[in-house]
Amino acid sequence: MSAVTQTGEGRRSPTRVLIEPWLLPLVIWGAIRAINRWAFRHLPWRFTVPFFAILAGWFLLIFPQLTLWLFPLLNHSLLEAAGFIQQGMLAASPVGNILLAFINIIESVFILTFALCGTVLSYGIAGEIYYRWWRRKAIKIEPPAPPLPLLSSDEDIDETNPLYGYERIGIILSGGGAKGAYQAGAMQAIYEFLERHKAHHRVKMIAGTSIGSWNALFWLAGLIKGEEEGCGPLKSWWSKVDVETLISPVKYVPTRQNFILSNEPWRESFRSLFGGKNSVGQQVATEAGRQLLRHAENPKAKDSIHFYFTQSNVQKARLEFMTNRRNLNHVGRNLPGSKPPSTTPYDAKRGAKDLDDICTGVFSSMDLPPLFEYTPIGKDLFEDGGVIDNLPIQFGTEIEKCDLLFILPLNASFEEEDINKKSVIRRILRVMSIRQGILERNAFKMIYLYNELAGLRERVKNYEGTLLKIHHEVESLKNKVTAQDILPLVEPLTQMLRIENCLQTQSNADGHVEAQQLSDEERGYERKHKKVSVFSICPAPELIISTAEFWKTEQAALAFDHMYQATKEQLEKQFKELVSSDWVSMLLVDDKGKVECLSNF
């Protein structure tokens, strides 16, 4: 028997091992479960059907032909090169056994390569078919023409109003994917609360990260409430949300690109709701889009709201943002004695002047890696703002100087008892969940420090007048007592006055004081920020819908209603208590409606 015959019949090829009869039922069952779980549930079926049809054609028709043609040719070439065809008896030689094992390895590599190429090719062809001919169109919502905000006078808010005394109200919206349905429900409850207490005109800013930026658009455009109670455009959008109307698969070339999906369907939803450039490059805005443009074009108007959409600069590894504010140099520095840098401390901002700018800002904020392509703006590349800061509280405190913030996190409650110990993917997702939760809780810790420093400085300044009187009295006693008796009393008081006047005594040639010249106590004393009150509410496990589950349309609507009812109830019950407390608290709402107050961050 020849060596070729022995190698062809005497050994078991990898292809035969793959189709052992007893393995076939297990392979089929596992494939069906994987297809149902990860394909039909996570991807549009209009994409999944052609994808698996093309993939089946590859493995049933092309793949066998490649293996039947290539493997004999490969075996013959390797054996002939090694001289075993002439020598015969391959298995009897130690070198032949090594060569046989090497051939098996080569065949396995080719099998995996063919399988990968077929999968990638099927994905790209199915994505092209889906995008060009079979995908669903953007979510159609026919919103009513949003009314202009009603500007109430200060006389409309008296001391019995729970919002009495608050001059600058801000909205902070975190990222969280499909959990944004919870956030949207809470937003509607807050909107109605402000409307009921005639305080809409005191909302001065809104900041969002990722899905929070998308939800912020509805607030800015006046699309929270509709003509019927509880049935506004915001709820309508979340009640119709579906993965097919948000994302589209794209052709994928390994080592040539680092993304696998397109958010073009979602951008079409933006254009359907708000407008954009038409085929000849002209800006065409819907009624809701014109409301958005009012904020972008006239940020200094009395009823305008400043907006901030965060984004992560990939090259510079820093948080940047899109805003309608023209010049942030006028933002009062928290430490006014510090010398301003050569560029504005907020130089990471980009101005939004039209709908295209707003669209770019929102979708760069939602550019979740590695699903979507980087968003290019100028020479820089951007991705999801949640990569760096998932809860942009600093825009409500340091920049806008708000005295009341409505903060809507989505990840601050991340405890989980049932930990999966088998899945690598679930372990990675768990690490990401913990990271985002920690980022959000750390943001609340910064509010604590912000408020504690402001409270301490306020108390010190309340004693200032008394200390001055004591100082003058002590100075008047100098002629009646010796210097040795008075010196221990005068020195501490003189030090206190030196802190108060440090800006005048340490000015440099430009009229500024270098912050580095001041001690910790002096810097703390000279800061100008005031305490901020907080109302915050967050969904708690078990969740009705999680971050990636945009295909759960019914659950998104349930999550919206669930958080709307919980927020509405808690605003009436606990608003005054929570915002007037010295402790910053967050309300956690589980799927049963049970509410827990978290203040230990």
Q: What is the pLDDT of residue 174?
A: 95
- Over residues 435-462, the pLDDT tens digits come to 888 888 888 888 888 877 777 777 777 6
**Region 550-568 average pLDDT:** 93
**Contact between 267 and 364 (Cβ < 8 Å):** no
User: What is the distance between the alpha carbons of residues 499 and 245, in angstroms, rounded to a whole number?
Assistant: 60
For residue 425, what are its two tokens?
A: 């993917």
Query: CA 387: distance to chain centroid?
Result: 7
For residue 221, what are its two tokens?
A: 């455009």
User: What is the distance between the alpha carbons of residues 353 and 597, in angstroms, rounded to a whole number?
Assistant: 41
Of 155-169, 344-358, 361-375, 484-498, give the lowest mean pLDDT range: 484-498
Strand partners, 207: 172, 308
**Cβ within 8 Å of residue 425, ≥6 positions away:** none
**Cβ within 8 Å of residue 348, ≥6 positions away:** 313, 318, 319, 320, 321
pLDDT at 508 over 60: no
User: What is the distance between the alpha carbons of residues 384 and 171, in angstroms, rounded to a whole number?
Assistant: 19
**Region 155-180 average pLDDT:** 88
By C-alpha distance, which of 43, 8, 10 is closest to 371? Answer: 43
Q: What is the pLDDT of residue 497?
A: 56
Question: For residue 343, what pLDDT band results from cuts at 50, 70 and 90?
Answer: very low
Question: For residue 214, what pLDDT band results from cuts at 50, 70 and 90?
Answer: very high
CATH node for 154-410+424-456+530-598: 3.40.1090
User: What is the distance between the alpha carbons of residues 301 and 304, in angstroms, rounded to a whole number?
Assistant: 5
Q: Enumerate the CATH 3.40.1090 domain ranges in the chain, comma separated.
A: 154-410+424-456+530-598
pLDDT at 528 over 80: no
For residue 421, what are its two tokens?
A: 């110990």
Residue linked to tokens 């140099």:
329
Of 234-243, 386-395, 470-479, give the lowest mean pLDDT range: 470-479
Q: What is the pLDDT of residue 535?
A: 96
**Contact between 241 and 139 (Cβ < 8 Å):** yes
**Region 194-206 average pLDDT:** 92
* Structure-model confidence comparison of residues 431 and 147, the more confident one: 431
- Over residues 12-31, the pLDDT tens digits come to 444 444 445 555 566 556 66
- Straight-line distance from the first to the last Cα atom of the chain, in angstroms, rounded to the nearest whole number: 77
Q: What is the pLDDT of residue 215?
A: 98
User: What is the distance between the alpha carbons of residues 476 and 481, in angstroms, rounded to a whole number?
Assistant: 10
Residue linked to tokens 């889906």:
130
Residue linked to tokens 């790209």:
124
pLDDT at 54 over 50: yes
User: What is the distance between the alpha carbons of residues 391 and 439, in angstroms, rounded to a whole number?
Assistant: 8
User: What is the distance between the alpha carbons of residues 439 and 393, in angstroms, rounded to a whole number?
Assistant: 11
User: What is the distance between the alpha carbons of residues 515 and 518, in angstroms, rounded to a whole number?
Assistant: 6
Q: What is the pLDDT of residue 23?
A: 55
Amino acid making up residue 438: I
Q: HSE (CB half, 13 Å, CA atoms) of 200? A: 20
For residue 213, what are its two tokens?
A: 């930026």
Amino acid making up residue 529: H
User: How many angstroms separate the Cα of 219 from the Cα of each of 187, 224, 485, 579?
Assistant: 8, 6, 66, 22
Taking phi over 0 as left and psi of -120 to 50 as alpha, with beta for the rest, 391 belongs to beta
Portion of the chain with pLDDT greater than 90, in percent: 27
DSSP 372: B
- Global pTM? 0.78
* Structure-model confidence comparison of residues 522 and 19, the more confident one: 522
* Structure-model confidence comparison of residues 539 and 475, the more confident one: 539
Proportion of the chain in helix, strand, coil states, percent, rounded to 5: 55, 10, 35
**Region 162-176 average pLDDT:** 93
Q: What is the pLDDT of residue 19?
A: 46
pLDDT at 39 over 60: no
pLDDT at 4 over 70: no
Residues 339, 343, 349: CA angle, nearest 5 degrees: 125
- Over residues 230-258, the pLDDT tens digits come to 578 999 999 988 887 888 888 777 778 88
User: What is the distance between the alpha carbons of residues 566 and 293, in angstroms, rounded to a whole number?
Assistant: 32
Most confident of 21-35, 79-93, 448-462, 569-583: 569-583
